[in-house]
């Protein structure tokens, strides 16, 4: 039965990886895979000799001797435990996505667009790279990429030039997401799972992530597409919303407040995110009542805005397919973890891999394993890879292993355009070709990844 469950997972995984070829959204195989794996566990519960106790992170040796009713009860408890952990991540993401959509409702990101008053290609490259690095740490790398490419489309006319900028935005956004607990789904998973703390994550990963962004941007600034000047697009002529800057800073401040709230109260991060969402929503409702001038009362825009609140509007725009995909993939990985498959795989991986980096202070997990995890996240989705590593390794909070996994999984995805959520969304927005990215951008991402990994090894030795 274990073999059948692994095969279901492998085929589901393949369908997720090949979503662009088979033209089926990845959330569908993720949900089907989750349901079938747990159904098979329930049907074949008496045939399993071991069970992984997720709460204590150890194998239950006497599982096979337990009566059927007790096994079923244990399975239901385990399912509930994993659903609770997954729901923490999903509710957190829902809150963050809604705040970003509220900022966008008030045209908050136009404040960034209005700051561009120069036409130097090199200056523009550095501005977008730094913005992507900083914004992705606050509002997550996927959202930062959407925001910056939207701004880019309003500034740069030529698509051939824009896709080069988009490529560097992907690298910078993924690098920025790695050092912040709210910057990338995988880092958020490690943070919510009590594997990394905000302070240590910043001290270990800020410099490696910065180098991962600076090195490719510096090399790219000497390439032909970033030489000379650009013809900028004229303003779209839309009247500026008087609350746009206020909502931008209020929304970003509310998201930054979440890690602070966790440190003060020791409550799970989603509680702080719900508080932040509530505060931003109050201001949004108050401001929306005075958003439009009396002269615009008859306009279509006023009529559409008056028919619903900004919070309802923002909730209707959040990306629910991503939330359901995370539900499916995290619960499917939890099924493999519960049977002890991941635990066993971790043991065999550590035994067969050469022991590199002897200064790594834990039970024999080599640097090469973690670097391969980073390369793997470029080929397949980094969310299940990190979910699997959570089930594979039992190192304590703030062990160097978790910080290196956060770096590798977060930045390694830049090496292929399908390797990260930021890359996939940029591919969709600018119709970037997979092989164009592979030829022009992948080597820059690889150089940045290796430079950052080397910097991590140095900072790890210092701290």
DSSP-H helix ranges across 106-140:
110-113, 121-139
> What does pTM read for this prediction?
0.75
Report whether pLDDT(200) > 70: yes
- Comparison of pLDDT for 234 and 332, the residue scoring more: 332
Q: What is the DSSP letter of 413?
A: G
**Which residues, 6+ apart, have CB-to-CB distance to 265 below 8 Å?**
271, 272
pLDDT in tens, 155-166: 888 888 899 999
How much of the chain is in helix, strand and coil states, percent to nearest 5? 75, 0, 25
pLDDT in tens, 319-378: 788 788 888 888 988 888 888 777 676 666 666 665 444 444 444 467 888 888 888 888
3-state SS, residue 52: strand
Q: Check residue 393 and give its pLDDT.
A: 80
- Report the Cα–Cα distance between both ends of the chain, in Å, rounded: 46
- The rounded distance, in Å, linking the Cα atoms of 90 and 33 is 18
Which one, of 251, 257, 286, 320, lies nearest residue 90 by Cα?
320
Query: Kindly report the CA angle at 49 between 43 and 53, in degrees rounded to 5?
Result: 90
Q: Check residue 207 and give its pLDDT.
A: 95
Query: Kindly report the CA angle at 187 between 57 and 460, in degrees rounded to 5?
Result: 85
Q: Check residue 236 and give its pLDDT.
A: 55
- The rounded distance, in Å, linking the Cα atoms of 109 and 247 is 9
Residue 293: CA atoms inside 13 Å, Cβ hemisphere, count? Answer: 6
Report whether pLDDT(199) > 70: yes
List the structure tokens of 33: 């895979």
Q: Check residue 295 and give its pLDDT.
A: 41
Among 309-313, 353-357, 433-437, the range scoring the smallest mean pLDDT is 353-357
- pLDDT (mean) for 228-237: 68
Q: What is the DSSP letter of 229?
A: B
List the structure tokens of 38: 């747990």
Q: What is the DSSP letter of 234?
A: P
Contact assessment for residue 140 and residue 184, using Cβ atoms and an 8 Å cutoff? yes
3-state SS, residue 147: helix
Report whether pLDDT(25) > 50: yes
Residue 354: CA atoms inside 13 Å, Cβ hemisphere, count? Answer: 5
Q: Check residue 293 and give its pLDDT.
A: 43
Q: Check residue 359 and give its pLDDT.
A: 41
- The mean of the pLDDT values for the chain is 83
pLDDT band at 150 (very low <50, low <70, confident <90, very high): confident
Contact assessment for residue 154 and residue 233, using Cβ atoms and an 8 Å cutoff? yes
3-state SS, residue 78: helix
- pLDDT (mean) for 291-314: 59
pLDDT band at 40 (very low <50, low <70, confident <90, very high): very high
**Which residues, 6+ apart, have CB-to-CB distance to 427 below 8 Å?**
417, 418, 434, 437
Q: Check residue 351 and give its pLDDT.
A: 67
Q: How long a stretch of residues is the chain?
A: 463
pLDDT band at 35 (very low <50, low <70, confident <90, very high): very high
- Comparison of pLDDT for 228 and 391, the residue scoring more: 228
Report whether pLDDT(75) > 50: yes
**Which percentage of the chain shows pLDDT scores above 70?**
87
pLDDT band at 179 (very low <50, low <70, confident <90, very high): very high
Report whether pLDDT(268) > 80: yes
Q: Check residue 446 and give its pLDDT.
A: 95
- The rounded distance, in Å, linking the Cα atoms of 116 and 128 is 10
3-state SS, residue 58: strand
Among 62-71, 150-159, 356-365, the range scoring the smallest mean pLDDT is 356-365
Residue with tokens 């994993």: 82
Phi first, then psi: give them for residue 52, nearest 5 degrees. -95, 120
Within a 10 A sphere around the Cβ of 116, how many other Cβ atoms?
17
Report whether pLDDT(240) > 70: no
Q: Check residue 396 and give its pLDDT.
A: 85
- The rounded distance, in Å, linking the Cα atoms of 394 and 436 is 40
Q: How many H helices and E strands in the chain?
A: 22, 2
pLDDT in tens, 45-55: 888 888 887 76
Instruction: Give how far Cα 219 sits from Cα of 226, 341, 434, Å.
Output: 10, 43, 21
pLDDT in tens, 90-103: 888 888 889 888 98
């Amino acid at each position: 039965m274990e073999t059948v469950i692994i095969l279901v997972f492998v085929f589901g995984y393949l369908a997720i990886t090949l979503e662009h070829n088979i033209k089926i959204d990845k959330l569908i195989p993720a949900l089907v895979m989750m349901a079938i794996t747990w159904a098979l566990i329930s049907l074949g519960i008496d045939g399993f000799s071991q069970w992984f106790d997720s709460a204590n992170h150890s194998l239950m040796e006497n599982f096979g001797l337990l009566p059927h009713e007790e096994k079923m009860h244990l399975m239901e408890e385990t399912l509930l435990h994993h659903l609770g952990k997954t729901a923490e991540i999903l509710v957190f993401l829902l809150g963050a996505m809604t705040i970003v959509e509220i900022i966008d409702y008030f045209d908050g990101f136009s404040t960034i667009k209005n700051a561009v008053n120069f036409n130097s290609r090199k200056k523009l490259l550095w501005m977008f790279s730094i913005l992507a690095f900083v914004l992705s740490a606050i509002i997550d790398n996927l959202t930062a990429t959407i925001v910056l490419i939207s701004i880019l489309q309003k500034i740069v006319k030529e698509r051939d030039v824009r896709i080069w900028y988009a490529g560097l935005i992907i690298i910078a956004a993924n690098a920025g997401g790695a050092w912040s607990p709210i910057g990338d789904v995988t880092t958020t998973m490690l943070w919510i799972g009590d594997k990394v703390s905000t302070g240590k994550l910043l001290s270990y990963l800020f410099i490696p992530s910065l180098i991962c962004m600076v090195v490719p941007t510096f090399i790219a600034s000497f390439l032909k597409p970033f030489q000379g000047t650009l013809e900028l697009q004229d303003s779209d002529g839309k009247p500026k919303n008087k609350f746009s800057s206020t909502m931008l800073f209020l929304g970003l401040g509310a998201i930054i407040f979440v890690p602070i709230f966790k440190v003060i109260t020791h409550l799970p991060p989603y509680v702080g995110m719900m508080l932040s969402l509530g505060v931003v929503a109050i201001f949004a409702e108050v401001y929306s009542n005075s958003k439009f001038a009396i002269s615009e009362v008859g306009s279509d825009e006023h009529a559409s805005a008056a028919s619903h609140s900004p919070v309802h509007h923002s909730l209707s725009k959040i990306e629910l397919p991503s939330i359901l995909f995370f539900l499916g993939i995290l619960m499917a990985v939890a099924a493999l973890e519960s049977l002890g498959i991941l635990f066993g795989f971790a043991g065999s991986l550590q035994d067969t891999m050469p022991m590199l980096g002897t200064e790594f202070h834990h039970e024999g997990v080599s640097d090469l394993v973690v670097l391969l995890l980073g390369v793997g996240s470029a080929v397949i989705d980094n969310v299940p890879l990190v979910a699997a590593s959570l089930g594979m390794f039992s190192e304590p909070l703030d062990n160097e292993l978790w910080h290196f996994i956060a770096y590798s999984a977060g930045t390694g995805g830049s090496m292929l355009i399908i390797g990260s959520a930021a890359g996939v969304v940029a591919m969709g927005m600018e119709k970037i070709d997979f092989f164009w990215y592979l030829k022009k951008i992948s080597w820059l991402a690889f150089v940045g990844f290796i430079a950052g990994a080397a910097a991590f090894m140095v900072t790890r030795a210092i701290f």
